[in-house]
Amino acid sequence: MSYSRAARRSAALTVAALLAGLALTATAAPAPAVPADVAAAPVAAARPTGTAGLQKALDRLVEQGAPGALLYTYNRGRVTQLQSGVADLAASTPMVPEDSYRIGSLTKTYVSTAVLQLVAKGRVRLSDPASRHLPGLLAGQPRVTVRQLLNHTSGIFDFNNDPRVLAPYLDGDLGHVWTPGDLVRLALTHAPVARPGAAYHYSNTNYLLLGLLVEAVTGERLGDVLQDRVFSRAHLDATTFNTKRTLPAPAAHGYVVLSGDEPTDITSLYPYPWASGSMVATAPDVAQFYRHLLSGGMLPPRLLAEMRATVDASAEDGPGTAYGLGLERFATPCGPAWGHGGNFPGYVTYVYSSPSGHRQTVLLVNQDPQSLSPEVGDGFVRLLNRAHCTSGG
């Protein structure tokens, strides 16, 4: 993973513009059986195995400017959970594994899982034109398939790159609500960035369309579908599809640096990315979801194989990186890891999983990617690779 490139793929705002706006207004301050060794492991029952070197590297992220940092690893029932710094600067609350936080674009893997479950039931086909399910939105647009939305080869413009999306926030209205349909329509006023199927171009608009597709096919709200068919199936007790400005307690607050060294709390920013990045979870829940998914507990084998069928993403996301259907493959010193990255204003989080699903590494810092020093960014990548590669086979 290239941190500098990955950080550009924020699921919410273009952060430099957000900082400019905030400076005007803000003040500092029943499912298939899952193998026994990948079954849910409550945090209270876990036996942390402290690793001095990893803790030292985590502490260094905080010393170099991050308010807080959390590292969680799982390997066949063995848990390491390390933390440094604070979840809430105003209250001096220490970071803990039970903290909820915005997981940003990790949301895409969960939404993709819901779509592929509909494929398993024969209600959607990967080769379907998306307009078959969303004729009102996509009439007159180039023919884009469900698969192309899932793997970011649709060529559809990313709504985040339209300055109209930022305008309310730049005016100081951090609670402004964009509907998914509004954002899709804004994106579709722009010409495609590529011919459908021609190349990988990461676009959050793809996942807004997929969320709307799920609602159109099921007749249910996306949040309800995710709760009933994804979160419940993976036994996720601390994961929500959160479209509120508040987080469940305890929570890791998200921070940006507006000027000088004083961080500003922007946890209350409205999470308008919706299906492209609005979910909230804890690090143990993130690990548990990817464990169930990659060990075969969420999808039939043929569709898990489809999820792992990748296109080259190295031009945008760094050497050796490839993108499947809502699932990313990263090159690490010890071989490929599967997972996803999530950048949301105030948060950077990544999850790496072994191909078998037996072990996961989740790393979080609660400061915006554009606010982090280069030292923290580089240290984040080194720590993520080190923790993943030393957590066992």
Domain ranges of the chain: 3-390
Angle at 103 between CA 97 and CA 107, to 5 degrees: 130
For residue 51, give the amino acid letter: T
pLDDT, one tens digit per residue, over 1-15 is 544 444 444 433 444
> CA–CA distance from 166 to each of 22, 26, 256 (Å)?
11, 16, 17
Least confident of 100-104, 196-200, 254-258, 321-325: 254-258
pLDDT of residue 48: 41
What topology does CATH give the domain 3-390? Beta-lactamase (3.40.710)
Give me the pLDDT at residue 20, please.
40
Confidence check: pLDDT of 205 > 90: yes
pLDDT at residue 160 above 80?
A: yes
The DSSP secondary structure of 167-189, one letter per residue, reads HHHHTT-TT----HHHHHHHHTT
